Chains A and B, each alone.
Chain A
Amino acid sequence: MTATFLILAAITIAGTVAAMALRNLVHCVLALTLGFAGLAALYLQLGAQFVGLTQILVYVGAVAILAVFVIMMTQNPTQTSDSIFSSFWFGGGLIAALVFAVLGWAIHASHLPSGVATPQAQAAVHPIGDALMHQYVLPLEIMGLLLTAALIGAVVLAMQEKRRSA
């Protein structure tokens, strides 16, 4: 466990906590990009370069911008926002704390490998592209089909409904 890991983990946790606790939604998304960037740096530190850069591209780039667009399109000044938490806040927080307790206990109790990483475990882009084009070509095609269907579906959902004159 190095100082780099500690700093990156602190950035990630701080960003995600702020994203879930701030009042202003735009501030939440800003903190969320910080958390996603911290996760991407953790991937890079683990040697998964392609996944780290994809994380920056997809999450920091696309998902955060999409969320900001939706927040700005749905700003309603007359909303009664006395509290940012729903009426289920106590039960939800309790469930989350219990889940973390169970996960932490499971991690603590299991016999994991002692942390000696095999050397040269670098996922460069070239072997990943090779694997995607040979071994994983069918999942790749299915993923392309799914993304196309999802994007068409999102556009149809967000399109203005035609008023039916009946």
Chain B
Amino acid sequence: MAEQDKTPPSGSGLPSDLTDPALARLDKGLETVRGRQAAEAAKRAPDADPRAMRAVGKAWSLAIEMVAAVGVSLFIGWWLDRWLGTAPWGLLGFILLGVATAMWSAIRTAMIMQRSQEAEAEAAAKKSEGE
């Protein structure tokens, strides 16, 4: 069996369908391990792209945060109107403020993204200069 284990691999010009029992066992072993790895990778498939998942979560978060900002300002404005009796002006003013807050959240997220992209581009440029 030792001499048969020293047979050269099929890439060195020998015919690939060598009916060598040791190689056949090796092939079967490799198939099993690869199958198991593929099964594990498929199980982990829902988390296979965590960055995309995180980005979708952040996007949905931003949308709800914008709505919540308008909602909160609406509530504050309506409550202040009831308390101070300034009929529609408090509500309108605070709705305007809420819309401005929503837009500010969106712009701030955009600036953060822009800054992180610039930082990534700088890091990549420095790495390629250093090499």
Q: Do A and B truly interact?
A: no
